[in-house]
């Protein structure tokens, strides 16, 4: 079972639409497949220059660690700074362990992850979840 381009595109588009509806700051949204490869990405034209890397880093952390959300990663690993620093180093700096990244499942199977950035981490997560749910897929914030 795989995440399709249509599903990934739906996640990105709905997450950005949710951000616009809530009048949030300019956002960037990345969707990776289960292997950690970029499948879909869009950013608001006003989003900061580092937003693509942050969005991908949030999604990549979920896929790389098999953790349901970057919120869980933040809670689990912040009290263990040496472990967190090691993860970030081993990933070449590609893990961003703050809320806004969600593992994506289809029929209970991991098929990828989404990362959203641009506003508060809580709002990023709201947009990520809206996108996943709109695509008919599963995520646990």
pLDDT in tens, 95-129: 999 999 999 999 999 999 999 999 999 999 999 99
14 CB-near residues (< 8 Å, 6+ apart): 130, 131, 134, 135
Q: What is the pTM of this model?
A: 0.95
Superfamily of domain 27-44+52-134, CATH level 4: Haem-degrading domain (3.30.450.150)
Enumerate the domain spans of the chain: 27-44+52-134
CB atoms within 10 A of CB 90: 11
Q: For the segment 35-45, what is each residue's pLDDT rounded down to a tens digit?
A: 999 999 999 99
CB 44 within 8 A of CB 127: no
Contact indicator for 104, 1 with CB cutoff of 8 Å: no
């Amino acid at each position: 079972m795989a995440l399709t381009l249509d599903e990934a595109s739906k996640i990105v588009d709905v997450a950005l639409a949710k951000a616009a509806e809530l009048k949030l700051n300019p956002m960037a949204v990345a969707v990776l497949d289960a292997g950690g490869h970029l499948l879909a990405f869009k950013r608001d034209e006003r989003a900061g220059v580092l937003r693509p890397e942050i969005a991908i880093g949030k999604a990549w952390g979920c896929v790389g660690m098999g953790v349901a959300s970057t919120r869980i990663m933040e809670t689990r690993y912040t009290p263990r700074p040496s472990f967190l620093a090691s993860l970030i180093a081993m990933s070449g700096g590609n893990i961003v362990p703050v809320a806004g990244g969600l593992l994506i499942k289809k029929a209970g199977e991991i098929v990828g992850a989404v990362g959203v950035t641009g506003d508060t981490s809580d709002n990023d997560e709201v947009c990520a979840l809206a996108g996943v749910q709109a695509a008919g897929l599963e995520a646990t914030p």
